[in-house]
Chains A and B, each alone.
Chain A
């Protein structure tokens, strides 16, 4: 399996029991939906914690690279890009 080009997913601490403690995992996927599918294949139980129906759980956002993705599950990833799951941010 090629590793260099895969997105690197940072696993939030509460989900690390599912990855046997691994903090960063490399998972293939051209968009977030595929990344989550592939995460689920490798670490069953991931998807239900991140998704509700076919969208990200309300209140959850995903950052691809240095900015929060606006397209949610449809956001394109890219080679070597970092993916972070974070609380959604509003503002005053």
Chain B
């Protein structure tokens, strides 16, 4: 075990090898697509070739007649839902929309929209059968642009949508349907008076393209609908309990009749929360009497899962000439995709979140367009708005001649500052992250050379709390088996085990963590919102304290003294007269003192104190090609307390590189028919290791008072600053301000040409 980097702790701050590591480097770890059950059938999905159409009829008879075909399902097999809004652990969903997204009902709303599925003896037969299904469509004009979709005469996607807002009046019965599903408005102070005080005002419009999480493992689900009515689903998911609930609601069966067994998961970033396959696989299993496996193709992952919205934004900032922000205004429209649900709420709440802004007004719209229904993607909504705000801040700094780091320090949000959306900040570390960049070797080293430039930018994310639980059983050899229900995407098992180990005073290796299924582990909300190390960590700490309490009772029995005379600390029980038994010694005595000791813990944590990051990047621009090379990259982030520094660094590095991809290359490229023309990795082009340098990280630790060890979630913030930091660096390099994402070679070279 490595030595602790944090002297306060024995385990926290060390870098033990993860418990699931050996399986993952030998190919033994079982991911969703690796599941194989006896008698298992393979299924394929029929998807819409059109972006917007009515389904007139579906004829499956030819497909049914193909030898080897065992079952076919369409939306007719899914129960009707009516108008139900259901809270699904991490966000509410309209069940009517959710079921129509799983299998289209009257209409298809995007290219790739699932219509039917076939289970067959092997995947090739299933794919042949798909081609034999005959669907008659009535084509409708696709709406691909958020502003066009908001126009009064736009074709309407869903005739049940009326604009809703926090605290808005219910829509009148006879009101007309709209594509604007949500509208938010936040105000603070007096913006007219605020802007009147400004010496400099900058206002720009921004467009960002739809982008995908790009996890390497495609969605999958294998389901068995048993003869006793019990449904078992094996799948990779960010939340097995949420997947269970969605599946049960979609099939209208009791939650207890669905068991979700989470396999290892090959990335999610927010995209593996929504359910697509489980109800379909379950119905195919019910019809065929066999287990059925569905694995998504890469093209469908792009076309038909939940990317993050494209956006159109207008943002305005005002400051005095000595560098004081006085007012800000933002108008933000997000593409929800086919159904409502973009992260427009968080976007509105994040747009000015890094700053102490005395006067602000933010308006946001969630708008349906003929693209896949969007989902969370790492700090959902925050990257878009950080791109806008942080490039405006750079422009202000240039105009008033102030250092970009100093300006941010001067205006940074801190404890006690009221946000534009209302609440007041608790202890946060925005200032500290900017200072960390300002004092970094990177920032202090001058950048030389033609067409080179440096930029910095900051970002914010809330970090969720939500509900978690854990239980822990003491083994006679002094180890502990830890059971929790948070699926582990990036090494969270080891981080949670370390918190339990720290509390009990044992080593990380002495904890054996398992991610349980929905019938064995206690309830946990999804792995998302940067919440697992924080909230499931708290549950594990509670479980450890429960063990401590029970061991104290056992020691009282052994020493024949009162429990009040005994305390648990430094890895064991301490009694009167210097009596001491280590955890291991106590574990060896359990069978003789009453049997097993099982600790349990739950947490239902409020939102964590928010997390901030500030990044610094050096670029070199090829002025002919418009290609941007990242020369050097440093990311500073407030992580509260870093439990396992390697995985904290890894989250920051991974997030930063996703942000670099978003900044420079990635976009959904649609033609006028509403067809995505780049639905492959080759054409969508996520960063490869040849595109990026090493990503230096600076872990800033401003402990979050809401967690016993001060943890703050780290996963999401690092994706927010890169696009703005790179845009600012491009400006420094070639004098061109970019307002659209991605800043791909064609776009950038066109801007450079315009300037000439």
Within 8 A of B (CB), among A32-59: 45, 48-50, 52, 57-59
Total inter-chain residue pairs, C-beta < 8 Å: 133
Q: How many residues of A contact B (CB 8 A)?
A: 33
A87 touches B345 (CB 8 A): yes
Q: How far is the CA of A68 from the CA of B529 in the complex (A)?
A: 14
B528 touches A92 (CB 8 A): yes
B424 within 8 A of A: yes
A91 touches B167 (CB 8 A): no
A89 touches B462 (CB 8 A): yes
* 20 chain-A/chain-B pairs, Cβ below 8 angstroms: A13-B185, A14-B168, A52-B85, A66-B424, A66-B426, A67-B609, A67-B706, A70-B465, A70-B604, A82-B423, A84-B423, A85-B166, A86-B166, A86-B422, A87-B344, A87-B348, A88-B92, A90-B376, A91-B270, A91-B530
A86 touches B421 (CB 8 A): yes
Closest partner residue, chain B, to A75 (CB atom): B606
CB distance from B304 to the nearest CB of A (A): 19
A21 within 8 A of B: no
Q: How far is the CA of A92 from the CA of B165 in the complex (A)?
A: 23
B465 touches A87 (CB 8 A): no
A15 within 8 A of B: yes
Q: How far is the CA of A17 from the CA of B531 in the complex (A)?
A: 37
What is the interface of chain B, defined by CB distance below 8 A to chain A?
85-87, 90-92, 165-170, 184-187, 213, 268-271, 273, 343-346, 348-349, 376-380, 421-426, 461-467, 526, 528-531, 604-607, 609, 706, 715-716
CB-CB under 8 A for A91 and B422, given A59-B91, A86-B345: no
Chain A residues whose C-beta falls within 8 Å of the C-beta of B461 in the assembled complex: 91
Chain B residues whose C-beta falls within 8 Å of the C-beta of A49 in the assembled complex: 167-170
Q: How far is the CA of A90 from the CA of B624 in the complex (A)?
A: 42
B346 touches A69 (CB 8 A): no
CB-CB under 8 A for A12 and B167, given A67-B607, A88-B91: yes
A59 touches B92 (CB 8 A): yes
Partner of B213, one of A50, A59, A63, A92: A92
Closest partner residue, chain B, to A10 (CB atom): B422
Of listed B92, B467, B530, B715, residue having the most chain A CB within 10 A: B92
B185 touches A14 (CB 8 A): yes
Closest partner residue, chain A, to B466 (CB atom): A70
Q: How far is the CA of A87 from the CA of B345 in the complex (A)?
A: 6
Given contacts A14-B165, A66-B424, A90-B270, 7 further A-B contacts (CB under 8 A): A10-B422, A59-B85, A67-B423, A68-B606, A70-B465, A86-B422, A87-B345
Closest partner residue, chain B, to A86 (CB atom): B421
Chain B residues whose C-beta falls within 8 Å of the C-beta of A13 in the assembled complex: 185-187
Q: How far is the CA of A87 from the CA of B344 in the complex (A)?
A: 9
Q: How far is the CA of A89 from the CA of B609 in the complex (A)?
A: 14
Q: How far is the CA of A85 from the CA of B377 in the complex (A)?
A: 24
CB distance from A92 to the nearest CB of B (A): 3
Chain A residues whose C-beta falls within 8 Å of the C-beta of B186 in the assembled complex: 13
Q: How far is the CA of A66 from the CA of B706 in the complex (A)?
A: 11
B92 touches A92 (CB 8 A): no
B462 touches A91 (CB 8 A): yes
A89 touches B346 (CB 8 A): yes
Chain A residues whose C-beta falls within 8 Å of the C-beta of B530 in the assembled complex: 91
- Annotate A57-81 by CB proximity to B: 1 below 8 A, 0 otherwise: 1111001011111110000000000
CB distance from A37 to the nearest CB of B (A): 16
Q: How far is the CA of A60 from the CA of B164 in the complex (A)?
A: 11
Partner of A90, one of B169, B268, B528: B528
B426 touches A92 (CB 8 A): no
Partner of A70, one of B213, B529, B605: B605
CB distance from A39 to the nearest CB of B (A): 11
A67 touches B426 (CB 8 A): yes
A92 touches B379 (CB 8 A): yes
Chain A residues whose C-beta falls within 8 Å of the C-beta of B349 in the assembled complex: 86-87, 89
A14 touches B606 (CB 8 A): no
Partner of A92, one of B168, B609, B715: B715
Of listed A14, A49, A50, A60, residue having the most chain B CB within 10 A: A14
B424 touches A90 (CB 8 A): no
CB-CB under 8 A for A70 and B378, given A50-B167, A87-B184: no
Q: How far is the CA of A90 from the CA of B347 in the complex (A)?
A: 12
- Annotate A1-26 by CB proximity to B: 1 below 8 A, 0 otherwise: 00000000011111100000000000
Closest partner residue, chain A, to B183 (CB atom): A14
B376 touches A48 (CB 8 A): no
CB distance from B640 to the nearest CB of A (A): 15
Closest partner residue, chain A, to B168 (CB atom): A14
Chain A residues whose C-beta falls within 8 Å of the C-beta of B463 in the assembled complex: 91
